[in-house]
Structure 1
Amino acid sequence: MNFASDNIVGASAPVLQALSSANAGAMAAYGGDEITKRVKARFTEIFEREVSVFFVTTGTAANALALSSAVPPYGLCVCHREAHIIDDECGAPEFFMHGAKLAGLPGVGAKLTAEGVSAYLESLPKAVKQMPPKALSISQVSECGLVYGLDELKALGQMCREHGLAFHMDGARFANALVSLGCTPAEMTWKQGVDILSFGGTKNGCLMAEAIVVFKPELAEALDYRAKRAGQIISKGRLISAQFEGYFADDHWCANARHANRLAKLLSDGLTQLPGVRLAWETQANEVFPIIPAAMDKALRNAGVLYHPWTELSLPEAEKVGPDEALIRLVVSFATREEDVHKVLDIARSVASRQAAE
């Protein structure tokens, strides 16, 4: 029962079938094939406008290259202090930005507010010794499982316009956020001011496929060259883009996300019905962050349930994790079985019943 992440499972059947079909015969290399052309056109349909699309193999590559197009070497990119780009990518964004820096700000649930970012920007000295802010990056879904609402995105987009920042969205779990909000991809991105998007597929059914989707044309000008220098122009490019063809077919990508979100809610609701269990943050997508008794944590691990402990850094101010408690993260994927969710809940209920009897 592995709830460590949503990138620990393989690819979904429609993605593998599309990949297998694309494998047959010979096609033009380096993205010049018909499959890649079709998938790029599909992105334009999905986002309801002309977009530039660059396919890469990892989310780190997508984030680092996207930000390199928006932030010069002397610039600053603002993000949450627990954002994936600052905590989990080994300095790749700074490396590809050729020395530009990331500035991590606090925020409950690993989310930023327009007011908070604006206050930080206005506090910076306007002198050559200070790296000027050039971009804002947010994670949708956040590192604490929260989804930015459309009003929050709109406010952030407006703030970026006012301060002259490019607006980047790390959409590693883009589909999970999308179905949670019940909106369109356009409504969650460029209509709220997003300029460039790291569009994730790997966590939601793809084998190894991510995309940089650019809404602001000038940010796309050098990305082909940047991607080539980063080793991300794949000779057999059709085997990357074909994954997205299977991913998008028959609304498969959203169906996968709905499944993961639904089971996360089932898990979340079941845990919070137990005495001594509460949520650190609301379950809004496919991640659950419960604060549980230490005995329950031990029992789950002894039963072979895999998951990660989580940081308390972005808890609400009034929330504390006690000495006999544990804050954990449980991630549900498109391939998670409902029976495994029930097994976890059965173990947790058993511990709660035993403690109640003592």
Structure 2
Amino acid sequence: MAFGDSPVLRSYISDNSAGVSPDIIIAMARVNGGHTAPYGRDSYTAEAEAALATLFDHPLDMFPVATGTAANGLALSVLTPPWGAVLCHPDGHITNDEAGAPEFYTNGAKILLVDGPNSKIDPDALRHAVRDRVGNIHCVQPAVLSLTQPTETGSVYTVEEVRELCAIAHEAGLRVHMDGARFANAVAALNVAPAELTWKAGVDVLAFGATKNGAATVDAVLSFDPALQKDLAYRHKRGGHLFSKMRYQSAQLTAYITDDLWLNNARQANAMAARIRDALSDTAGISIIGDPQANIVFCQVPTPVIAAMHHDGFTFYDDHWAPGVIRLVTSFTHTPADIDAFTTAMKSHLTTYIHNEL
């Protein structure tokens, strides 16, 4: 059965819930024969690194890891000393959903929150945060600016916004890390080259996500600064992510970016989120929260309607935020038929709810 075939897909919990792109499974099978050098010394890993360097139009060092948490933690560990601080938005994944892993990998560096609307860091707030702390011996020293792209609420930093924030950070002596767990969705939403959102804008290290968008067991740290290579290599091993059979992770990454698979998957996921947004945005009783541009949509929905949707078998998060706030995440496996079934059911339950309230 192909992805999206009946029965209707009812899961909107996370794009992590989706399966693996068939092309990636085929790629893993193709590298399965014979023997090759272990620990990343194989030709498949060299091929993946070269392919990524071509994609980003820049020399880079690639370090495959098992999780996005590891990618973020390892990236941050080479960018800040233990007495340093990582500046991120209050909605940032690294401060809310990684169980202290960034602090662990950095040997205790502190996370400082810098607010801004739509889950994006405000440039003036960033200027204030670094101005009051840099050089003050009594404060942890701002060392890294961390940008989540797209944000945890589905908004996307534009190229100009990334460039401005990176310039502020670099002027104050900070390095820049980008949490790109859904980086493909941001690139697809903006229709720009990956280089424009990363090193050309001032990003030093990217946590490059693949698992949420069709890969099986791999994300990667991509460093655009060759001076970080040695430190990253040792931390990669020390952190337990130097795979002995790395050819399988590397093959996934090569297949992921070949023939625009990563972008096609992201475009599908984004389009399905837009379909939800468009279907519900003009529905009385439902409010779309923020400005979703990627594959995440937050809605304010009456709680009885939420209960009815769960009763119908639709799954999504609704107990992490304010009462009545739900998060819907789409993936490359969702189809228009899936989305229409979801929005039709929600509108039907909303009609019943409104009728009962009158």
Q: TM-score, normalised by structure 1?
A: 0.94
Q: Distance in 2 between matches of 1:32 and 1:219?
A: 19
Corresponding position of 1:315 = none
Paired letter, 2:125: G
RMSD value, Cα: 1.4
Partner of residue 78 from structure 2, selected from 55, 58, 69: 69
Q: Quick check: 1:77–1:133 contact (8 Å CA) kept in 2?
A: yes
Return the offset for 1:194. 0.5
Partner amino acid for 1:352? L
Aligned mates of 1:329, 1:112 — CA distance in 2: 21
Match of 1:340 among 332, 338, 348: 338
In the alignment, is residue 297 of structure 1 matched against residue 306 of structure 2?
yes
Count of aligned pairs: 347
What is the CA–CA distance in structure 2 between the aligned matches of 1:36 and 1:110, rounded to whole Å? 35
1:275 aligns with 2:273: no
Secondary structure of 1:309 counterpart: coil
Q: Which has the larger displacement, 214-223 or 341-350?
A: 214-223
2:264 paired residue number:
255
- AA paired with 1:41? A
Q: Select 2:103's aligned residue among 73, 94, 108.
A: 94
Amino acid at match of 1:13: P
- CA distance in 2 between partners of 1:154 and 1:248 (Å): 25
1:53 to 59, 62, 65: 62
Contact preservation (8 Å) 2:133, 2:140: no
C-alpha separation in 2, matches of 1:327 and 1:229: 40
Deviation readout 1:221-241 (Å, 9 max, x if unpaired): 311100100111101000100
**Partner amino acid, structure 1, of 2:339:** V
SS in 1 for 2:301: strand
Deviation at 1:52, TM superposition (A): 1.1
Question: Counterpart in 1 of 2:91?
Answer: 82
1:317 maps to none
Asked whether the equivalents of residues 274 and 352 of structure 1 are also in contact (C-alpha less than 8 Å), the reply is no
Deviation at 1:125, TM superposition (A): 6.8
- Structure 2 residues not aligned, in runs of 5+: 1-9
Segment of structure 1 superposing worse, 122-131 or 222-231: 122-131
Matches within 5 A, 1:1-358: 1-124=10-133, 126-309=135-318, 326-357=324-355, 358=358
Whole-Å separation in 1 of the counterparts to 2:228 and 2:81: 12
The alpha-carbon deviation at position 298 of structure 1 amounts to 1.8
Mapped to 2, the partners of 1:95 and 1:210 lie a distance apart of 19
Query: In the alignment, is the contact (CA less than 8 A) between 1:16 and 1:246 conserved in 2?
Result: no
Name whichever of 116-125 and 39-48 sits farther off: 116-125
CA change 1:125–1:248 in 2 (3 A) is closer
Residue deviations 1:110-144, cap 9 Å, x none?
A: 21022111111112273322111111001001111
Q: Secondary structure at the match of 2:268?
A: helix
* Distance in 1 (alpha carbons) for counterparts of 2:102 and 2:353: 47
**Does 217-226 or 144-153 show the bigger shift?**
217-226
Contact 1:260–1:332 (CA under 8 A) maintained in structure 2: yes
CA-CA distance at 1:311 after TM superposition: 5.5
SS of the equivalent of 1:141 reads: coil
Deviation at 1:219, TM superposition (A): 2.4
Residue aligning to 2:6: none
For 2:171 and 2:332, the matched residues in 1 are separated by 39
Q: Contact 1:77 / 1:102 at 8 angstroms: preserved in 2?
A: yes
Is the contact between residue 134 and residue 172 of structure 2 (CA under 8 Å) also seen in structure 1? no
Indicate how the Cα distance of structure 1 residues 284 and 310 shifts in structure 2: closer, same or farther if over 3 A, else same.
farther
Identity level (%): 38
SS of the aligned residue for 1:190 comes to: coil
